[in-house]
Amino acid sequence: MSPEPNPARHDRDSVARSALALLDEVGLADLSMRRIAARLDVQPSALYWHFANKQELLAELADRITASIPRGSNGVLAAARGIRDALFSYRDGAELVLSTYALQLGSSHAQAVLTEALRAQGATEADDRGAALLHFVLGHATLVQQRMHADSHGALPDAGEADVTAGLDRVFDLGVAALAGGLSTSATPPRARA
């Protein structure tokens, strides 16, 4: 006779899925191991069977968020937009991926997608440009998410019915184009020091 399955038993995947769902509900600032454990109806120490620490769990979440980014050569702008869209698919997704990327714990898929798109377009220094583009995408997406969050809590100056993110898609496209294509040779040279 085999033992009855224990519904309280969880694996790495179920812990990560629960953490992503909780991220959407409470945001990154309130995503704690204690709260995830409560959601799973286990003791916090049970989570450490699957993840050595919170940073490892956050890196897993960042990789899951960016895993949906399509590979292929649809162009650099399409790749950058795909990354941005993946970051926007979760509350505080951009901040979470940025923080794990800063610690070199995850999100290599996003940079690989950008680098491949740059190579496909024949860009020079594709690795460095891919890193620069990812930095831009992460920063831009974090700014947009923070602005939307602040607006939803009434923390921005009253702008009437104006969209607090108006014009930012155009700014995003311009930034990607500038980094992917290099700077114009007609740029103003730096002023000489006196």
pLDDT tens digit sequence for 76-117:
999 999 999 999 999 999 999 999 999 888 768 899 999 999
Per-residue pLDDT reduced to its tens digit, 45-62: 999 999 999 999 999 999
Q: How far apart are the C-alpha atoms of 149 and 192, rounded to whole Å? A: 43
pLDDT at 183: 35
pTM of the model: 0.80
46 is written with which tokens? 């049970």
pLDDT at 15: 96
Q: How far apart are the C-alpha atoms of 17 and 14, rounded to whole Å? A: 5
Q: Which amino acid is at 57?
A: L
Dihedral angle sign, alpha carbons of residues 179, 181, 186, 190: positive
One DSSP character per residue, 14-82 reads HHHHHHHHHHHHH-GGG--HHHHHHHHTS-HHHHTTT-SSHHHHHHHHHHHHHTTSPPS-S-HHHHHHH
Is the pLDDT score of 192 beyond 70? no
Please state, in angstroms and as integers, the Cα–Cα distance from residue 103 to each residue in 10, 47, 107, 167, following that order.
Answer: 27, 21, 10, 31
Per-residue pLDDT reduced to its tens digit, 135-191: 999 999 999 998 887 777 676 666 555 565 667 888 899 999 999 885 332 333 333
Is the pLDDT score of 193 beyond 90? no
Which residues fall within 8 angstroms of residue 141, CB to CB, at 6 or more apart?
83, 84, 87, 88, 93, 94
Instruction: Find out whether 145 and 89 touch, Cβ atoms under 8 Å.
Output: no
Backbone angles phi, psi at 89, to 5 degrees: -75, -10
Q: Percent of the chain having pLDDT more than 70?
A: 80
